[in-house]
């Protein structure tokens, strides 16, 4: 691996500097990592493991041993990996990555004896000994709250009927954010008809046709001129809202916004808002997504880690890598603060950290609260807007 030194961005409490306290050198921190190193999710597991290695390489003056355990991308493999892990001395566990794998071992003997730092963003029904470190929906909604609550801006909700979208809707409404209307589609095929309803296309189209009929009966020059303009349009007048919130990703997000555009509602007359897109380059080249707004981590830090990943491993990161990058420094800082004593959940709570993902803290419910920024697509680039 190339030796690429860089400014380390983790600024931890208790006046920890780039060089951790000398006494931590003799207090070995042993981290077990349950990862999918084979099977369907091998690529994700390999990238996370490479991120851990990169982080450890660049952390100065620490005595850390990372012990990976392959869960074979399966529930049964996770149970086996956890059994294997118990034959080793580990102070804390990173993983599993996926919620279903974590749930498969919560009733296994000795589960409660360990603290798990999960890279998942799931925050529901967390066991007492599990910390959810991913970018969760709560953090995203808090970042969007001011934008969605702007006075004189009516907003509609446009999402599918799946449990995720309904959870998003419920959490938004708990923040006292109100929607003028809510539109839900049951399948991908239904997006078209629901978008037609949401844009009041039929009514606006009929209004146009009625106006054209009236003007066709006139011989006034101004009416003839106006007629020529209207004949080039599909609808008359705009919609009665200013914002559209869409909890969707990838092709589904593109389809929703494209259908709105097809029915004469686009970024020229409304503001489209969505969830964290992890700086997906594909959405930069989609014309209908111009000006769309979403919450996310610090883009410069994302680019920096991506650049280092390409230099060292000849590949780009997706999203989980930057979460993984911050996890080990978090553990090291707390380990140093407590001088090598056993971890407890209380060691993590209500302390503010600054990592590659930005500022975050672990709250009393054991999940990370990230202070996210808002980004907007402008002229084919991601631009911070707050």
Q: Which domains does the chain have, with CATH numbers?
A: 22-135+299-370 (3.40.50.2300), 138-295+375-384 (3.40.50.2300)
**pLDDT tens for each residue of the chain, 386 residues long:** 433 323 333 333 332 322 333 344 458 899 999 999 999 999 999 999 999 999 998 887 788 999 999 999 999 999 999 999 999 999 999 999 999 999 999 999 999 999 999 999 988 889 999 999 999 999 999 999 999 988 778 999 999 999 999 999 999 999 999 999 999 999 999 999 999 999 999 999 999 999 999 999 998 999 899 999 999 989 999 999 999 999 999 999 999 999 999 999 999 999 999 999 999 999 999 999 999 999 999 999 999 999 999 999 999 998 999 999 999 999 999 998 877 678 899 999 888 888 888 899 999 999 999 999 999 999 999 999 97
Q: Which distant-in-sequence residues (6+ apart) come within 8 Å of 86 by Cβ?
A: 110
H or E element, residue 336: helix 320-337
What tokens does 364 get? 């009393």
Q: Which of 181, 118, 174 is nearest to 141 (CA)?
A: 174
Q: Which of 47, 28, 48, 42 is nearest to 88 (CA)?
A: 28
Report the pLDDT value the prediction gives residue 62, as an integer from 0 to 100. 81
Taking the CA of residue 313 as centre, how many other CA atoms within 13 Å lie in the half-sphere pointing to its CB? 19
Q: How far is CA 18 from the centre of its chain?
A: 28
Three-state secondary-structure class, residue 130: strand
Angle at 272 between CA 268 and CA 274, to 5 degrees: 160
Q: Which of 237, 103, 259, 238 is nearest to 193 (CA)?
A: 259
Report the pLDDT value the prediction gives residue 216, as an integer from 0 to 100. 92
**What gap in Å lies between CA 106 and CA 112, rounded to an integer?**
8
Q: Across the chain, what does the average pLDDT equal?
A: 89
Is 251 in contact with 163 (CB distance < 8 Å)? no
**What gap in Å lies between CA 299 and CA 357, rounded to an integer?**
9
342 DSSP assignment: P
Report the pLDDT value the prediction gives residue 59, as an integer from 0 to 100. 85
Q: What are phi and psi of 20, to 5 degrees?
A: -70, 160
What tokens does 129 get? 């000994």
Q: Which distant-in-sequence residues (6+ apart) come within 8 Å of 307 by Cβ?
A: none
**What gap in Å lies between CA 17 and CA 20, rounded to an integer?**
6
Does this model's pTM top 0.85?
Answer: yes
Report the pLDDT value the prediction gives residue 340, as an integer from 0 to 100. 67
Residue-wise DSSP of 77-98? HHHHHHHHHTTS--SEEE--SS
Report the pLDDT value the prediction gives residue 324, as an integer from 0 to 100. 95
Q: Which of 305, 289, 307, 304 is nearest to 381 (CA)?
A: 289
């Amino acid at each position: 691996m190339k030796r690429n030194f860089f400014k380390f961005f983790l600024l931890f409490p208790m006046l920890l500097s780039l060089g951790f306290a000398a006494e931590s050198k003799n207090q070995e921190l042993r981290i077990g990592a349950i990862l999918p190193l084979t099977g369907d999710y091998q690529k994700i597991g390999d990238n996370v493991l490479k991120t851990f290695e990169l982080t450890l390489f660049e952390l100065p003056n620490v005595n850390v041993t990372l012990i990976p355990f392959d869960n074979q991308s399966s529930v049964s493999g996770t149970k086996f990996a956890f059994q294997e892990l118990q034959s080793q001395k580990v102070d804390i566990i990173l993983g599993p990555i996926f919620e279903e794998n974590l749930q498969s071992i919560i009733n296994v003997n000795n589960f409660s004896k360990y603290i798990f730092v999960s890279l998942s963003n799931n925050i529901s029904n967390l066991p007492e000994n599990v910390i959810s470190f991913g970018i969760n929906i709560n953090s995203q909604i808090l970042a969007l709250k001011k934008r969605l609550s702007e006075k004189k801006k009516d907003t509609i909700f446009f999402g599918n009927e799946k449990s995720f979208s309904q959870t998003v809707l419920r959490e938004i409404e708990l923040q006292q954010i109100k929607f003028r209307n809510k539109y839900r589609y049951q399948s991908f095929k239904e997006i078209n008809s629901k978008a037609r309803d949401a844009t009041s296309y039929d009514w606006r189209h009929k209004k146009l046709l009625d106006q054209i009929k009236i003007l066709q009966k006139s011989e006034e020059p101004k009416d003839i001129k106006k007629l020529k303009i209207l004949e080039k349009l599909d609808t008359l007048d705009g919609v009665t809202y200013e914002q559209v919130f869409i909890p969707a990703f990838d092709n589904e997000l593109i389809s929703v916004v494209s259908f709105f555009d097809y029915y004469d509602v686009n970024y020229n007359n409304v503001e489209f808002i969505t969830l964290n897109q992890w700086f997906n380059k594909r959405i930069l080249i989609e014309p209908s997504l111009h000006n769309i707004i979403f919450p996310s981590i610090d883009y410069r830090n994302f680019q920096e880690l991506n650049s280092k990943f390409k230099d060292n491993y000849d590949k780009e990161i997706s999203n989980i890598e930057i979460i993984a990058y911050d996890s080990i420094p978090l553990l090291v800082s707390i380990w140093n603060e407590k001088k090598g004593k056993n971890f407890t959940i209380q060691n993590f709570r209500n302390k503010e950290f600054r990592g590659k993902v930005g500022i975050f803290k672990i709250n009393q419910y054991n999940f990370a609260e990230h202070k996210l920024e808002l980004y907007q697509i402008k002229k084919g680039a991601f631009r911070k807007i707050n």
